Amino acid sequence: MDQAPFYSDVDDGPAGGRAFWLTTADGVRIRLGDWPLEGAKGTVLLFPGRTEYVEKYGRAARDFAAHGYRTLAIDWRGQGLADRVAGDPALGHVAKFSDYQKDVDTVLAALPKLGIEGPLFLLAHSMGGAIGLRALHRKLPVKAAAFTAPMWGLHLPLLIKPVAWMLSSASEYLGRGETLAPGTNADAYVLHELFAANKLTSDSGMYDYMQTQARAHPDLNIGGPTMTWLHEALVEMRRLNGMPSPATPCVTFLGGDEAIVSPQSIRSRMVRWPQGHLELVEGARHEVMMESPQVRAFCFETCAAHFNAQLGTRKPG
């Protein structure tokens, strides 16, 4: 496990943040970010969404540290500083959605090398929510899980859904899987979308935070997804939708102004999660963890209380 670059100039996380290279079973190099915390009562495995990277969650790691939790974050294959797996490195791509589980397995195998033996918890965002739900079905060894805007369905108009299936399937069949999905481009979203029109956050300061990172370190950025990624994501979401909910205690956050993933799919899943609870956050967009200070405080306090409950620890007072 070799040291990897870590951009501490833009993460705004706890002191001592670092990163390591890990190599998966199929030979792909991914990056694991770590914000160590002496005396941590547990470790949060943070599964980022599509286009994201370790440093984007520095502020989240700082919030978790304030609640006594260490944070690890992953650069999935095809994004961040991990190996790009498309011919065009600017595009978000994966050959098979199940390949992300190889990344998860690689991270779990590395934990003893980091001296991590205590309780584990999952926090998964967007695409990471699909990866995380699958990982829970594969017995991911966490005591509890939290999701923010999990990608259990896409926010697509009813008439567009069959078109997305048809186009992505046809592209696979015709060998055009690495072409850009319609309606997207090869630039980082936060660099081409004005704040006023963005679907990520209603907080201008957090949008500036994302833009600063993207401008300072363009090697972290990717643009839109390929047709193969779209097809694989649609197939995986359909498969997950047909599966029961895990027994893992779970809390899920859904922004009232969500416009990227499907609110209906999230509500449907949480209604049938025996130990699950849905938190609807009015006024929040896709990135609940990167909203206003009040929303962020609510999110992390709720996650910490949820995790603490599995340790038999209650918040003082």
pLDDT digits (tens, 9 = 90+) for 128-176: 999 999 999 999 999 999 999 999 999 875 545 665 656 667 676 556 6
Query: Is the CATH code 3.30.300.10 the one for domain 2-311?
Result: no
pLDDT digits (tens, 9 = 90+) for 30-60: 999 999 999 999 999 999 999 999 999 999 9
**Would you tell me the crossing angle of helices 127-137 and 227-241 to the nearest 10 degrees?**
50
pLDDT of 203: 98
Residues 34/72, Cβ–Cβ less than 8 Å: yes
> Given pLDDT bands bounded at 50, 70 and 90, which one contains residue 178?
confident
- Where do the structural domains in the chain lie, given as residue ranges? 2-311
pLDDT of 42: 97
pLDDT of 179: 86
pLDDT of 317: 34
Residues 75/54, Cβ–Cβ less than 8 Å: yes
For residue 60, what are the CA distances in angstroms to 28, 142, 169? Answer: 27, 19, 37
pLDDT of 303: 98
pLDDT of 314: 46
Q: How far apart are CA 153 and CA 207, in angstroms?
A: 24
pLDDT digits (tens, 9 = 90+) for 184-214: 889 999 999 999 999 999 999 999 999 999 9
Average pLDDT, the chain: 93
Tell me whether strands 18-23 and 250-255 are parallel, antiparallel or unpaired.
unpaired
Q: Which of 233, 218, 292, 195 is nearest to 49 (CA)?
A: 233
pLDDT of 183: 81
Above 80 in pLDDT, residue 15?
yes
pLDDT digits (tens, 9 = 90+) for 213-265: 999 999 999 999 998 999 999 999 999 999 999 999 999 999 999 999 999 99
pLDDT of 163: 58
For residue 161, what are the CA distances in angstroms to 112, 155, 167, 200? Answer: 43, 9, 10, 22
pLDDT digits (tens, 9 = 90+) for 82-120: 999 999 999 999 999 999 999 999 999 999 999 998 899
> Given pLDDT bands bounded at 50, 70 and 90, which one contains residue 182?
confident
Q: Which residue has the higher pLDDT, 109 or 317?
A: 109
